[in-house]
């Protein structure tokens, strides 16, 4: 059915293991999807080679992740793919929510200027995966193995033994570290017998992608309807994608028959009722989904990490699935690289759980609330929901309760073991654990100056003290950048390799910076040692 | 004077709290719970004029005709 995109086919290449060579790897990534490829590329940018195993021979098929949030775009910009996303994708920041046929609520996700990346870019997942495959290949250190299915997994003290099945035979790989990026139906998770529990929402949604053959004047915005005249009693979500493709989500209700609803004879009239008789279109993709929210109890199991949907699953309202998985990869890559390069002890890897489990919980909380708002479970819930929508036309307080999905925001790692709590009083600026805020500089944007190694972001002219393994970036102590960081002359932020804030000081001293840097790398309890000395 | 400015730090959480209060109630109990809630909050407000203003705005919201705004949400 898809007419705008043809999936590439990647050839199987006979690995050395089938001829009695190789057999070990420092990092094995299971699953060459969006998250697995992102992790492989991030590791490669840190100089860490990996083997990526995938049971298929192509990128994702059909309508999957489409909304890439600002933080994801900033991560891809760091990895070298940001401009490609901007060039091909549909940039948007305004969302409108309608009740019946009137506007209930409108939001602007990025009202201020001076950021390299917009609030959101819509792009079909397969494009991004294809670019990731190209970028991974170009690094020369990512060994992408298609048509290679993991059939067994055996955790040992010193390694993980993986059984791999290929068209030309099976072999064993011993991996120092394994990242399970094999999605919601993760075979790694199943073979370890880990429970994956949570809520199933008793509702069904039809995902229809259409290619419009008639020119339509429509803004680059996210539109959501509660109870529209063209689909009474249910909700509808509309997103614009590249190639003239429009993604429409129709709420169907729990009683709907998924097989029946997928038939073009059912789908086409639904879309025609929505778009009107004068708009000609082709069906690009149709599927029917039920949503669930759940997560693993822990994401790190010894030498095995669960990353993305294999670790947690959310409903799509809020675009928190793909974006959450990308942030997982961003969080794990620099830590794994630092341990493999012996910059940091293995204990650093425990912070993956400490940081990404609260992030997953927040994503689950928001997507559960949104799904409960969209699909009220009781008559009372429906009455409250409808009352909110009615009041929202006139009252700002009610508008803030309208929930068609709270859209993905970068997670702040509050209380992270890697953060140094503020000792001085701060008004504004990113707190320890928060992602850095972009700002315009005379020669580009701040985030592009930060890279993927620890940085001391220093405001003003005086040369700061040199720290081992930390690059200094000096910016002006006035203007937009200083305002966004609540900075004056001498202020310094210690930035992690994933561009989150580790510590910040209005009056930095060598002692305090060293303690903060040791904490960033999880190198023991430095303060206690100092006190003891 | 009724104050309709947004005051809640976490509106989504308040919405969930209200809905959850009804989860194991019959339809009749549900209506009584809402009535009891309104009476408790009316007493807390302690101002009959404010209550009358709130009633007027609430009635206006539920009886308002649909399709009254400029942006009608017509799809492409």
Q: Looking at CA atoms only, how far is residue A98 from chain B in angstroms? A: 6
pLDDT at A527 over 80: no
**Residue A47, CA distances (Å) to A43, A143, A350, A405, A452 in order:** 6, 13, 22, 38, 11
What is the structure's pLDDT at B66? Answer: 55
Chain A residues with CB-CB distance to B under 8 A? Answer: 96, 98-103, 212, 216-218, 223, 225, 228, 230, 238, 246, 274-276, 279, 366, 369, 372-373, 376-381, 384, 387-388, 390-391, 393-397, 400-401, 403, 406
Nearest by CB to B16, which of A238, A369, A397?
Answer: A369
pLDDT in tens, chain B (76 residues): 999 999 999 999 999 999 999 999 999 999 999 999 999 999 999 999 999 999 999 999 998 765 445 566 777 7
Nearest by CB to A101, which of B30, B57, B67?
Answer: B67
pLDDT in tens, A399-454: 999 999 999 888 999 999 999 999 999 999 999 999 999 999 999 999 999 999 99
Q: Looking at CA atoms only, how far is residue A309 from chain B in angstroms? A: 25
d(CA A40, CA B26): 54
Angle at A98 between CA A97 and CA A103, to 5 degrees: 95
pLDDT in tens, A217-273: 889 999 999 999 999 999 999 999 999 999 999 999 999 999 999 999 999 999 999
Cβ-defined contact of B76 to A275 (cutoff 8 Å): yes
Q: If you count residue pairs, one on A and one on B, with CB atoms under 8 Å apart, how many are there?
A: 105
Q: Looking at CA atoms only, how far is residue A233 from chain B in angstroms? A: 14
pLDDT at A38 over 70: yes
pLDDT in tens, A69-106: 999 999 999 999 999 999 999 999 999 999 988 888 88
Nearest CA in chain B to A226: B73
Cβ-defined contact of A102 to B23 (cutoff 8 Å): no
Nearest CA in chain B to A237: B75
Nearest by CB to B23, which of A216, A274, A378?
Answer: A378
Q: Give A235's contacts in chain B (Cβ within 8 Å).
A: none
What is the structure's pLDDT at A531? Answer: 53
First to last CA, chain B: 43
| Predicted TM-score of the model (pTM) | 0.94
Nearest CA in chain B to A400: B11
What is the structure's pLDDT at B65? Answer: 63
Would you place residue A528 in the very low, low, confident or very high pLDDT band (cuts 50, 70, 90)? low
Closest to A155 in 3D by CA, of A186, A184, A183, A193: A193
- On whether any CB of chain A is under 8 Å from the CB of B73, the answer is yes
User: What ipTM was reported for this prediction?
Assistant: 0.91
Q: Angle formed by the axes of helices A350-374 and B11-20, to 10°?
A: 60
Q: Where are the domains of chain B?
A: 11-63
What is the structure's pLDDT at A3? Answer: 87
- On whether any CB of chain A is under 8 Å from the CB of B60, the answer is yes
**Residue A48, CA distances (Å) to A30, A320, B12, B74 in order:** 16, 28, 43, 51
Q: Give A100's contacts in chain B (Cβ within 8 Å).
A: 66-67
Residues in chain B, overall count: 76
Q: Looking at CA atoms only, how far is residue A298 from chain B in angstroms? A: 26
Q: Looking at CA atoms only, how far is residue B73 from chain A in angstroms? A: 6
- On whether any CB of chain A is under 8 Å from the CB of B28, the answer is no
Q: Give B9's contacts in chain A (Cβ within 8 Å).
A: none
d(CA A482, CA A72): 24
pLDDT at A472 over 70: yes
List the domains of chain A with CATH numbers: 16-90+122-196+293-366 (3.50.50.60), 200-291 (3.30.9.10), 440-532 (3.40.30.120)
| Residue A333 parent element (H or E) | helix A321-340
Q: Give A102's contacts in chain B (Cβ within 8 Å).
A: 66-69, 71-73
Cβ-defined contact of B19 to A275 (cutoff 8 Å): no
Cβ-defined contact of B34 to A380 (cutoff 8 Å): yes
Q: Which residues contact A476 (CB under 8 A, 6 or more apart)?
A: A459, A460, A482
How would you label A203-221 residue by residue, b for 16+ Cβ within 10 Å and e otherwise?
A: bbbbbbbbbbeeeeeeeeb
- On whether any CB of chain A is under 8 Å from the CB of B46, the answer is no
Closest to A385 in 3D by CA, of A99, A84, A111, A62: A99
Would you place residue A465 in the very low, low, confident or very high pLDDT band (cuts 50, 70, 90)? confident
Nearest CA in chain A to B22: A380
Token readout for A181 is 């990026």
Token readout for A56 is 């298929």
Q: Give B61's contacts in chain A (Cβ within 8 Å).
A: 387, 390-391, 393-394
Supply the mean pLDDT for chain A: 94
Q: Give B72's contacts in chain A (Cβ within 8 Å).
A: 98, 101-103
Torsion sign across C-alpha atoms A89, A73, A402, A184: positive
Nearest CA in chain A to B16: A369
- On whether any CB of chain A is under 8 Å from the CB of B76, the answer is yes
- On whether any CB of chain A is under 8 Å from the CB of B41, the answer is no
pLDDT in tens, A49-63: 999 999 999 999 988
Q: Looking at CA atoms only, how far is residue A212 from chain B in angstroms? A: 10
Q: Give B22's contacts in chain A (Cβ within 8 Å).
A: 378, 380-381
Higher pLDDT pick, A63 / A306: A306
What is the structure's pLDDT at B56? Answer: 96
Would you place residue A214 in the very low, low, confident or very high pLDDT band (cuts 50, 70, 90)? confident
Give the residues across from A160 on adjacent strands.
A155, A175
What is the structure's pLDDT at B68? Answer: 45
pLDDT in tens, A343-374: 999 999 999 999 999 999 999 999 999 999 99
Q: Looking at CA atoms only, how far is residue B51 from chain A in angstroms? A: 16
Cβ-defined contact of A216 to B70 (cutoff 8 Å): no
């Amino acid at each position: 059915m898809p007419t705008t995109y043809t999936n590439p086919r990647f050839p199987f290449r006979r690995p050395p293991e089938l001829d009695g060579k190789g057999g070990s790897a420092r990092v094995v990534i299971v699953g060459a999807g969006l998250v697995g490829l992102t992790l492989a590329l991030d590791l490669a940018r840190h100089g860490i080679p990996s083997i990526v195993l995938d049971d298929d021979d192509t990128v994702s098929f059909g309508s999957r992740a489409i909304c890439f949030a600002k933080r994801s775009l900033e991560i891809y910009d760091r990895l070298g793919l940001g401009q490609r996303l901007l060039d091909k994708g549909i940039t948007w920041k305004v969302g409108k929510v309608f009740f019946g046929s009137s506007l209930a609520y409108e939001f602007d996700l990025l009202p201020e200027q001076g950021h390299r990346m917009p609030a959101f870019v819509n792009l079909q997942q397969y494009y991004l995966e294809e670019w990731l495959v190209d970028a991974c290949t170009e690094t020369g250190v990512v060994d992408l193995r298609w048509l290679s299915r993991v059939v067994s997994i055996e955790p040992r003290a010193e390694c993980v033994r993986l059984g791999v099945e290929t068209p030309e035979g099976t072999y064993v790989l011993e991996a120092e570290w394994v990242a399970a990026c094999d999605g919601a139906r993760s075979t790694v998770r199943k073979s370890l017998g880990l429970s994956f529990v949570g809520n199933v929402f008793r509702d069904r949604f039809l995902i229809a992608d259409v290619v419009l053959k008639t020119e339509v004047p429509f803004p680059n915005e996210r539109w959501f309807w509660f109870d529209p005249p063209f689909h009474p009693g249910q909700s509808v979500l509309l997103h614009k994608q590249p190639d003239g493709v429009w993604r429409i989500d129709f709420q169907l209700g729990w009683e709907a028959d998924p097989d029946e609803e997928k038939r073009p004879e059912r789908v086409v009239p639904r879309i025609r009722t929505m778009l009107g008789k004068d708009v000609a279109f082709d069906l690009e993709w149709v599927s029917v989904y039920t949503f669930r929210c759940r997560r693993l109890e822990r994401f790190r199991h010894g030498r095995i990490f669960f990353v993305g949907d294999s670790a947690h699953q959310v409903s799509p309202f809020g675009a928190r699935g793909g974006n959450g998985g990308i942030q997982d990869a961003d969080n794990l890559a620099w830590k794994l690289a630092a341990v493999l390069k012996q910059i940091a002890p293995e204990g650093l890897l425990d912070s993956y759980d400490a940081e990404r489990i609260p992030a997953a919980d927040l994503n689950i909380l928001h997507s559960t609330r949104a799904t409960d708002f969209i699909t009220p479970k009781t008559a009372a819930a429906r009455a409250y929901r409808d009352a909110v929508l009615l009041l929202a036309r006139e009252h700002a307080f009610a508008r803030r309760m309208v929930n068609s999905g709270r859209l993905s925001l970068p997670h702040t790692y509050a209380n992270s073991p890697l953060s140094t709590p503020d000792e001085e009083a701060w008004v504004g600026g990113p707190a320890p654990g928060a992602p850095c805020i972009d700002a315009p500089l005379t020669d580009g944007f701040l985030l592009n100056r930060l890279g993927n190694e620890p940085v001391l972001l220093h405001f003003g002219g005086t040369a700061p003290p040199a720290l081992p393994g930390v690059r200094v970036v000096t910016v002006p102590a006035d203007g937009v950048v200083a305002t966004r960081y609540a900075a004056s002359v001498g202020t310094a932020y210690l930035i992690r390799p994933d561009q989150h804030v580790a510590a910040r000081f209005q009056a930095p001293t060598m002692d305090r910076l060293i303690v903060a840097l040791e904490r960033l790398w999880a190198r023991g309890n430095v303060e206690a040692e100092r006190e003891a000395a | 004077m009724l104050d309709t400015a947004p005051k809640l730090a976490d509106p989504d959480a308040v919405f969930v709290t209200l809905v959850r209060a009804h989860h194991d109630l019959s339809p009749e109990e549900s209506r009584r719970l809402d009535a009891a809630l309104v009476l408790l909050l009316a007493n807390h407000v302690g101002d009959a004029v404010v209550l009358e203003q709130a009633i007027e705005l609430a009635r206006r919201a539920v009886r308002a005709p649909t399709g009254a705004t400029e942006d009608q949400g017509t799809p492409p």
